[in-house]
């Protein structure tokens, strides 16, 4: 009998944490209450992902389109981000979790910028899982920003290819996501990791984000482990 080979844990998982608003509405609560529960879930899933040995976890916390929401909801989400970054330092230290960022940093309020820069700097030496916070993030925006930087770096008329552009994305050292999860029963990727997610496996869960538990992450990974990834080639 052949020894069984342990199934691979995805190195990089991205999560579109959807359904906070509906979770709250279904309970007769205000939308912000759903985001508060969503933050608690995010902490739980960060721990679960770290325990599972995932190397990179990208969380879509706020998109470039989310500014269209009511000002109080936007403010509430920004405060939650601050709260997360402040309150999680001890946890990050204990679990060696490093904070990273993706998105248009310059478009964020100065207090959030400071909180993010501090957390990124304070955790820079940690060698456990890296949590990439996607805030004021849009896939198209990231590609445009990369393109502008690349155009500046290249002499007029000098040709470039995919590899050149990918070096100017927000985190060129992080591998492309193996798995992208979206909760709350919507089947779209909503401008999340457009470039990096070209060959990501997609997993959709019907559960609202605040209802997610570590078992849901385990189920997503078990499903991923059954996928046949060919990256456009043949086996
Ligand atoms: C999508 O649900 C969720 C968001 C736009 C905000 C997500 C933010 C958090 C969970 C808090 C911050 C997290 C971290 C990790 C710092 P929705 O409001 O679109 O839900 P709906 O589709 O049901 O209305």
- Ligand 1 centroid–CA 36 distance in Å is 9
Check pLDDT > 70 for residue 193. yes
Res 235: pLDDT: 76
- 59 Cβ below 6 A of ligand 1: yes
Res 228: pLDDT: 87
- Nearest alpha carbon, ligand 1 atom 6: 61
Q: Which of 20, 66, 95, 156 is catalytic?
A: 66
Task: Note the pLDDT tens digit of each residue in 35-58.
Answer: 999 999 999 999 999 999 999 999
Res 2: pLDDT: 44
| Residue 118: Cβ within 10 Å count | 14
DSSP-assigned letters across all residues of 165-200: HHTTSS-TTSPPPSEEEE-TT----TTSSTTTTTT-
From 183, 181, 138, select the one nearest 19 (Cα to Cα). Answer: 183
228 as an active site residue: the answer is no
Question: CA–CA separation, 104 vs 62, rounded Å?
Answer: 11
- Ligand 1 centroid–CA 205 distance in Å is 15
- 80 Cβ below 6 A of ligand 1: yes
Atom of ligand 1 nearest to the CA of 42: 15
Position of tokens 């190195």? 11
Arithmetic mean of pLDDT over the chain = 95
Q: Ligand 1 pocket test: pick from 13, 16, 18, 131 the residue with the most ligand atoms within 8 Å of its Cβ.
A: 18
Do the beta carbons of residue 16 and residue 62 sit within 8 Å? no
Q: What is the mean pLDDT of residues 18-41?
A: 97
Task: Note the pLDDT tens digit of each residue in 93-108.
Answer: 999 999 999 999 999 9
- 132 Cβ below 6 A of ligand 1: no
Res 127: pLDDT: 97
Q: What is the mean pLDDT of residues 17-33?
A: 98
Q: What is the mean pLDDT of residues 163-167?
A: 95
What number of helices (H) and strands (E) belong to the chain? 8, 6
- Ligand 1 centroid–CA 66 distance in Å is 10
The Cα angle at residue 41 between residues 36 and 42, in degrees rounded to 5: 95
Check pLDDT > 60 for residue 3. no
Q: What is the mean pLDDT of residues 6-10?
A: 85
Q: What is the mean pLDDT of residues 197-224?
A: 98
Q: CA torsion angle for 190, 193, 198, 203 (degrees, to 10)?
A: -60
Contacts of 8 (CB under 8 A, 6+ apart): 225
The model's confidence at residue 1, banded by pLDDT at 50, 70 and 90, is very low
- Helices 71-87 and 110-122 meet at what angle, rounded to 10? 20
Question: CA–CA separation, 45 vs 153, rounded Å?
Answer: 39
- 15 Cβ below 6 A of ligand 1: no
20 as an active site residue: the answer is no
- 35 Cβ below 6 A of ligand 1: yes
From 63, 97, 89, 45, select the one nearest 210 (Cα to Cα). Answer: 45
- 58 Cβ below 6 A of ligand 1: no
- 20 Cβ below 6 A of ligand 1: yes
Rounded to the nearest angstrom, the gap between the alpha carbon of residue 131 and the centroid of all alpha carbons in its chain is 7
Res 5: pLDDT: 63
SS (H, E, C) 20-48: HHHHHHHCCCCHHHHHHHHHHHHHHHHHH
């Amino acid at each position: 009998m052949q020894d069984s080979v342990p199934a691979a844990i995805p190195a990089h998982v991205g999560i579109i944490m959807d359904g906070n608003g509906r979770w709250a509405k279904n309970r007769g609560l205000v939308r912000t209450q759903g985001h508060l529960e969503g933050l608690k879930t995010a902490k739980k899933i960060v721990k679960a992902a770290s325990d599972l040995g995932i190397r990179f976890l990208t969380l879509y916390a706020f998109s470039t389109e989310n500014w269209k929401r009511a000002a109080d909801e936007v403010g509430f989400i920004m405060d939650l981000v601050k709260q997360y970054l402040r309150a999680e330092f001890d946890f990050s230290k204990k679990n060696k979790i490093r904070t990273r960022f993706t998105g248009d940093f310059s478009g964020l309020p100065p207090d959030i910028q400071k909180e993010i820069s501090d957390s990124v700097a304070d955790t820079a030496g940690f060698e456990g899982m890296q949590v990439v916070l996607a805030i004021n993030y849009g896939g198209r925006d990231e590609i445009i920003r990369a393109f502008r930087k690349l155009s500046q770096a290249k002499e007029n008329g000098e040709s470039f290819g995919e590899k050149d552009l990918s070096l100017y994305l927000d985190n060129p050292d992080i591998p492309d996501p193996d798995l992208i999860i979206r909760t709350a029963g919507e089947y779209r990727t909503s401008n999340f990791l457009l470039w990096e997610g070209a060959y990501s496996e997609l997993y959709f869960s019907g559960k609202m984000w605040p209802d997610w538990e570590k078992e849901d992450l385990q189920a997503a990974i078990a499903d991923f482990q059954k996928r046949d990834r060919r990256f456009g080639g043949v086996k």
